[in-house]
Amino acid sequence: MIKPYNEDQPKVEQIRKMFNRIAPNYDRLNHIISLGMDVSWRKKALRKVAPFGPRKILDVATGTGDLAIDMCQTIPGIEKIIGIDISDEMLRLGNRKIRELELEHIIELEKQDCTSTSFEDNTFDAVTTAFGLRNFENIPLALKELYRVLKPGSPLMILELSEPRNSFVKCLYSFYANHFIPFTGNIISHDKEAYTYLPKSIADVPQREKLAGLLKEAGFDDPYYQSFEPGTCTVYMAIK
């Protein structure tokens, strides 16, 4: 199992520690490292959720709330978005953004672990997560929990970084991921381990067909995926 730090703590605790450390610079680094594509990736993914007309949405690993905020602009008719995360600092910054945008009446952030939430069965019209799956300590358990809290017929949307399949693009990506990302991350966040972990976590997370298989095992129907050019980000959709 890939972890951010060379420590004996469980992965979930190391992830909490990592995000508490990098939270102040997280949004800026996300934008820089993705070459500005993170915004369009989130909006493309949310367009796949919009046709379901969800009223109540759970956003998992919500971080500073970027995806939840984007939902308010992309999906009409939303009544409530609950964002959950394990990092106090990410949630603190997220709540500040939500207050500044006057979205408190729609978005509510809570500190919860996605493998064991406090929600009742069949609660949400949609569940989403962006750039968080690779940080889960137990992905199959998390998928089963997300299945449990979804209403029947409702979608799960996962947006996650991925490795390109084209050999030439993958070669360029490998150099970028293993050199530019740690270097830039260290300069801005002063946590080189966090941004050395990032490309390793992308390589380690189940991708494309493998993740679609895990979604089926968790009980979801009709899982499919679409990679966005140049293949460094993939959206997954599945129905309960």
Q: Which helix (H) or strand (E) holds 127?
A: strand 126-130
Pairing of strands 107-111, 80-85: parallel
Q: Is the dihedral of CA 185, 186, 191, 194 positive or negative?
A: positive
Whether the Cβ atoms of residue 55 and residue 77 lie closer than 8 Å to each other:
yes
Nearest Cα to Cα of residue 83 among 56, 101, 121: 56
Give the residue ranges of the annotated binding site: 64, 85, 113-114
Q: Note if the bond before 152 is cis, omega within 30 degrees.
A: no
Q: At what angle do helices 209-217 and 139-149 cross, to 10 degrees?
A: 60
How many other CB atoms sit within 10 Å of the CB of residue 97?
17
Give the residue ranges of the annotated binding site for S-adenosyl-L-methionine: 64, 85, 113-114
